[in-house]
Structure 1
Amino acid sequence: MNLHKKALFFDVDDTMYDHLHPTRDALRTVLGLSERFPYEEAYHRIRYYSDVLSAKGGLLEGKAGQDELEDMREGRFVLALQEFGVNITREQAVDIQKEYLDRQYRIEPFEGATSLMDELSSAGYLVGLITNGLEDHQMSKIRAMALENHIAAEHIFVSGTVGYAKPDPRIFEVVNERTGTLAEHCCYIGDSWRNDVAGAVAANWRVIWFNHRKAAPESEVAGVYETAASYSELKKLLLYPTYV
């Protein structure tokens, strides 16, 4: 058992890599949107609707079928883009999703991400991933970034297989149980206020909000969190005692 071992777990989407890039490229390719379009704002709304629609159907816990998954993936583009005066058909949403998926599997980690993981492992930390989504989809992204070369397979947790999805604190409890760690010895790093910060705080983990997009907190959380905007800042927080 690792009851006294310190552990660090990372989110994947928009924490290990820039999730905006494949989204922006897909919108440009299918819709021909100009450089002036507010891609980052639209990205945040697409993620919002992705979370809302997934929660309704239990998609992130692996409780829905392919039809429900496709409805969510297409619906998030339709609903989000409407807010920016761009009305698209379901057929266009299908095309955006296809382009987006193709680019999802041609991604690279943020600068310093994998080297930090290696340094943490060398320093004696248990290092892993906790990500929302379906197993095949998330693992394809993990393999695209070659993260399996830096993290043991048994330390990768995908909500669709675990049966609980962030922000449900039970996914963090499952991680503690399966890795033999304690909440007070664990830290979670993620970009999503709702899923990552609120979820990990509720599980009594240490939390670092990877806020590289300089977003504002979406709500109050009943706990303490730290903030980093780059992997160099994360390194200072995690490896240098004067920053802890």
Structure 2
Amino acid sequence: MLGQVNSTIGVFFDVDDTLYDHLDPLRFALQHVLLLAEEFPYESAYHRVRYYSDLLTEQNRNVNAVDGVAILEEMRSKRYILALEEFGISLTKEQAVEVQSQYLARQFKIKPYDGAIVLLKQLQVQGVTVGLITNGPLEHQMRKIKSLCLDDVILDNHIFVSGGVGLDKPDPRLFAYVNEMTETTAEHSYYIGDTWRNDVVGAMNAGWNMLWFNPRNAQPESNHTPHYIVKNYEEISRILLK
């Protein structure tokens, strides 16, 4: 797909649930705090937690980029309360806070999806600018990036964390800023991400090429049409490296 590759072409990845499985920490937290059975529909609950997380982020625009710690903590608790209510589970504020605590503790025991690191290196060998664009507080997201050893692969100045930049996805200005800082263009930039509201809408509104990473068969939330829909890194590699 990239044709004659060079450093003016950029391929950028989301981190959470795009470069590693984000469901594992959530499953652990819900089981640990709420003692939920193995049969509970964790994947469906995960979709709803992510939905409310993105919705609350949009409602509190750029909360990761300002001194909004109290607001961020409130949002994190509220997403569990709203999501689990759909499954007939009423969480107290204290339980939601504990779920978040256990979720965070587990987030750093993670590993990349099969084929992810290999693809990043192959793209770099072909001369492509490869980077990360992720929402969240700078220190927190960098801890995950280091846990995944992505900082050994991606150049420091190609890692863009919303809390450090001052803009959150889906704000198209964040994607424009990435283009400016990496000397790439929207027309020749590709984004791989899993969430509809932040990743698909954000990248496409910025004029980027979008590969929607959708291994859990989530449903679209608007009339945006991603250029590609992919379920694993074998599919991503076939598209990007052909």
User: Is TM more than 0.5 here?
Assistant: yes
Match of 2:147 among 144, 149, 162: 144
1:76-91 matches, cutoff 5 A = 76-91=79-94
How far the C-alpha of 1:53 sits from its partner, in A, is 2.1
Partner Cα distance (1:152, 1:237) in 2: 23
Q: Aligned in 2, Cα 1:184/1:59: closer, same or farther, shift over 3 Å? A: closer
The aligned amino acid for 2:202 is G
How far the C-alpha of 1:197 sits from its partner, in A, is 1.2
Q: Verify the 8 A CA contact 1:201 1:225 in the aligned structure 2.
A: no
Task: Indicate the residue corresponding to 1:234 in structure 2.
Answer: 236
How far the C-alpha of 1:224 sits from its partner, in A, is 5.1
Partner Cα distance (1:78, 1:229) in 2: 29
How far the C-alpha of 1:4 sits from its partner, in A, is 6.3
Match of 1:203 among 206, 211, 219: 206
Task: Indicate the residue corresponding to 2:169 in structure 1.
Answer: 166
The aligned amino acid for 1:239 is L
Q: Secondary structure at the match of 1:204?
A: coil
Partner Cα distance (1:138, 1:11) in 2: 11
How far the C-alpha of 1:59 sits from its partner, in A, is 4.9
Gap runs ≥5 in structure 1: none
- Tell me if 1:48 matches 2:51: yes
Task: Indicate the residue corresponding to 1:184 in structure 2.
Answer: 187
Q: Secondary structure at the match of 1:133?
A: coil
Q: Verify the 8 A CA contact 2:115 2:234 in the aligned structure 1.
A: yes
Q: How large is the RMSD of aligned CA atoms in angstroms?
A: 1.5
How far the C-alpha of 1:172 sits from its partner, in A, is 0.5
1:1-244 matches, cutoff 5 A = 5-221=8-224, 225-240=227-242
How far the C-alpha of 1:57 sits from its partner, in A, is 2.9
Identity percentage over the alignment?
A: 52
C-alpha offsets along residues 204-237 of structure 1, whole Å, 9 cap, x if unaligned?
Answer: 111111111122221101x651111100000000
Q: Which moved more, 1:78-87 or 1:8-17?
A: 78-87
Gap runs ≥5 in structure 2: 1-5
Normalised TM-score (structure 2): 0.94
C-alpha offsets along residues 50-97 of structure 1, whole Å, 9 cap, x if unaligned?
Answer: 122223333544224222121111111111111111111111111111
Partner Cα distance (2:150, 2:15) in 1: 10
Partner Cα distance (1:66, 1:108) in 2: 27
Partner Cα distance (2:106, 2:73) in 1: 17
The aligned amino acid for 1:172 is F
Partner Cα distance (1:68, 1:194) in 2: 20
Partner Cα distance (1:203, 1:51) in 2: 18
